[in-house]
Structure 1
Amino acid sequence: MARAPGSGRGGPREGGEGGGRGRRSDREGGRGQRRDSSIDREESEIIDRLVDINRVSKTVKGGKRFGFAAIVVVGDQRGRVGYGTGKAREVPEAIRKATESAKRGMIRVALREGRTLHHDVIGHFGAGRVVLRAAPAGTGIIAGGAMRAVFETVGLKDVVAKSVGTSNPHNMIKATFEALSAVQSPRTVAGRRGKKVADILGRRDDQVAAEAAA
């Protein structure tokens, strides 16, 4: 008896395998889409601030070539912040390069109650020297220039800062980042010393009370 086309054992098996591969690829594509959506969501939460842009020139045979150098600060306003620089012949391209560089070098800063620093800290870089101090609720951001852009992007709402060195924005930002990198939460200090957070905070409160009584 003649078999109908496609009724042999090879036909349905090949079709089934092909269908299985298709469904598996669809699932893989779905996972890839979910990963892409999460990455896009993280990118959309990051804000950027243009701190400074400077026109630079390079003397070559036959004249000068002009370009632009930009410095940008980015952050998610929840403790992550970064800065970057970029150079290009046009302003938009310089800003784009600086933004990409800033996103690659983001750091995490420990914030108290999501609004201020855990303790006072000093940062140095070159001729730049900055002093950052924690502040009570309602103080706001008391800072200017490049430091304000850093505080806004990292998510600080109450902080008092002072630059006592150079006013160069590059050195000011690098000194500010060095200071923010030195901020430690009580949990981190307690874990390093093998103690409880209450012990660290209690000792600090006793010292503050003793100093106030004196």
Structure 2
Amino acid sequence: MANRRKGNKTKEKEADWQERVVQIRRVTKVVKGGKKLSFRAIVVVGNERGQVGVGVGKASDVIGAVRKGVVDGKKHLVTVPLTKANSIPHPVSGAGGGAKVMMRPAAPGTGVIAGGAVRTVLELAGVRNILAKQLGSDNPLNNARAAANALASLRTFSDVAEERGIPLENLYA
């Protein structure tokens, strides 16, 4: 009986995660007998409560590639500190490959002002008010990784105070 309850809890936790496919691409590998066709899927996984991950999966069929991408995304989760306005605590930028992403916090009611893969990453992270801009490459994988990199480098006031070894009140002085 206890095992059944435990199983239901894991199913509930699995249901919290959302996944969105950013891109599916046909890729070929030249082998001795000719060309071997496979699919690459870029998947963003998030729970809309401050956790998000970007994953890539390759398989001979689309469904297999997406499944592998979801597993990879859950391995590369990033925790995002959100403010009361469902924004980020401070301006930040991140890089991934040839792509750079710049993000700024926004006032409540602004919405997610971002494009492409960056928008998907922010929405699945639970960010509701933000301004973001992609710079450099327009590659969806590099932009998604740059967005995840930027979100990973966010710090809260309490984190900074703890790192410096001072009380939170002295940080504002």
TM-score under structure 1 normalisation? 0.77
For residues 78 and 32 of structure 2, the distance between their equivalents in structure 1, rounded to whole angstroms, comes to 42
Q: How many residues align?
A: 173
Query: Distance in 1 between the 2:103 and 2:161 partners?
Result: 23
Q: Percent identity?
A: 39
1:114: Cα distance to partner? 5.9
- Alignment partner, residue 69 of structure 1: 40
What is the alpha-carbon distance in structure 2 between the residues aligned to residue 77 and residue 59 of structure 1? 40
CA contact (8 A) 2:104 2:132 kept: yes
Q: What does residue range 18-37 of structure 1 map to in structure 2 within 5 Å?
A: 30-37=1-8
In structure 2, distance between residues paired with 1:145 and 1:159: 14
* Residue number in structure 1 paired with 2:53: 82
The one of 112, 137, 141 aligned to 2:112: 141
Counterpart of 2:96 in structure 1 is: 125
Counterpart AA for 1:80? Q
Unaligned runs of 5+ in 1: 1-29, 204-214
Aligned-pair distance for 1:195? 2.8
* C-alpha distance after superposition, 1:21-54 (max 9, x if no partner): xxxxxxxxx3322222221111001101101111
Structure 2: gaps of 5 or more residues: none
SS in structure 1 at match of 2:136: coil
| Stretch moving more, 69-78 or 191-200 | 191-200
* Structure 1 SS opposite 2:131: strand
Q: Supply the distance in 1 between the matched residues of 2:105 and 2:27 (Cα, whole angstroms).
A: 38
Q: Helix, strand or coil: the match of 2:6?
A: helix
- In the other structure, the counterpart of 2:165 is 194
Matched, 1:166 2:118: no
Contact 1:78 1:114 in 2 (8 A): no
Rounded Cα–Cα distance in structure 1 between residues aligned with 2:97 and 2:10 = 36
1:155 aligns with 2:126: yes
- Following superposition, the deviation at residue 61 of structure 1 comes to 2.2
Deviation track 1:115-144 (CA, whole Å, cap 9, x = no partner) reads 100000010122111101000100000001
| Structure of greater Rg | 1
Structure 1 runs, 4 residues or longer, greater than 6 Å off = none
What is the Cα deviation at residue 152 of structure 1? Answer: 0.9
Is contact 2:47–2:124 with CA below 8 Å preserved after alignment?
yes
Higher relative contact order (CA 8 A, sep 6+): 2
Specify which structure has the higher proportion of helix: 1
1:71-110 aligned at under 5 Å gives the runs 71-110=42-81
- Please tell me whether the aligned partners of residues 59 and 65 of structure 1 are also in contact (alpha carbons under 8 angstroms): yes
1:58 aligns with 2:29: yes
Q: If each structure's strand is expressed as a fraction of its own residues, which one has the higher value?
A: 2
Q: Does the residue aligned with 1:164 lie in a helix, a strand or coil?
A: strand
Indicate whether 1:115 and 2:81 are aligned: no
The Cα RMSD (Å) is 1.3
TM-score by length of 2: 0.94
